[in-house]
Amino acid sequence: MYIAIAGNIGSGKTTLTETLAARCHAKIYQEDTNNPYLNDFYQDMSRWAFNLQIYFLGSRIKQAVEMLKCNEDLIQDRTVYEDAYIFAANLHQMGLMSSRDFNSYMGIFDIASHLIPSPDLLIYLKASVPTLISQIQRRGRAYEMSIQEEYLARLNDKYENWINNIYKGPLITLDIDKEDFILNPTVIDRVVEQIEALRKTKR
């Protein structure tokens, strides 16, 4: 079974991925946070936007090749769809990625997306900008300290559009403002129950 965790920067994807993997005995595929363009990107977004996104896309394709060989349950921290429909699309809309670069990027994404399996279940972590800011500051990654609230708000808008109008697969939405799975473990219990129910329908 292939479960993917989606959500904005600071929404808690990695923590949920690790928690569910332990509960469901699944293999973890985490997002590559060692992108060599991250620091430069947050200092000069227009200069490094294309480089950043192409690196993430390549990393996601490499990960997908490994996932195709996996014969066990797996949980992925962020999807290739978010790279395209959320982050790259937002950078283009903000004028930080040229149309030429965006079209080249989407051409590669279109090829890759047909080679990558779709999740059996997507868990979307929805969170307000104040919650995202609080959690970003709490984890203290230096390159994230310069992220602007407006940027996070735009990403949230993209996520809502993707979830409500584009994504078509099985979906669980957790509103992190109201369902803090760290402070309230019963949230995890409920998600695990839903995963097990879905797993039974796929046997």
Summarize pLDDT for 88-117 with one digit per residue, the tens. 999 999 999 999 999 999 999 999 888 888
Percent of the chain with pLDDT strictly greater than 70: 100
pLDDT, average across residues 156-171: 95
Domain count, the chain: 1
Which range marks the domain in which residue 8 is found? 2-202
- From CA 17, how far away is CA 48, in angstroms rounded? 28
AA identity, residue 9: I
Whether the Cβ atoms of residue 18 and residue 28 lie closer than 8 Å to each other: yes
- Residue 93's domain is classified under what CATH number? 3.40.50.300
Indicate if the pLDDT at residue 141 is higher than 80.
no
pLDDT of amino acid 182: 86
- From CA 51, how far away is CA 61, in angstroms rounded? 15
pLDDT of amino acid 203: 63
pLDDT of amino acid 32: 82
R_g of the chain computed on alpha carbons: 17
pLDDT, average across residues 59-75: 88
> Does residue 77 carry a catalytic annotation?
yes
Catalytic residue (one of 40, 44, 77, 83):
77
- From CA 80, how far away is CA 95, in angstroms rounded? 22
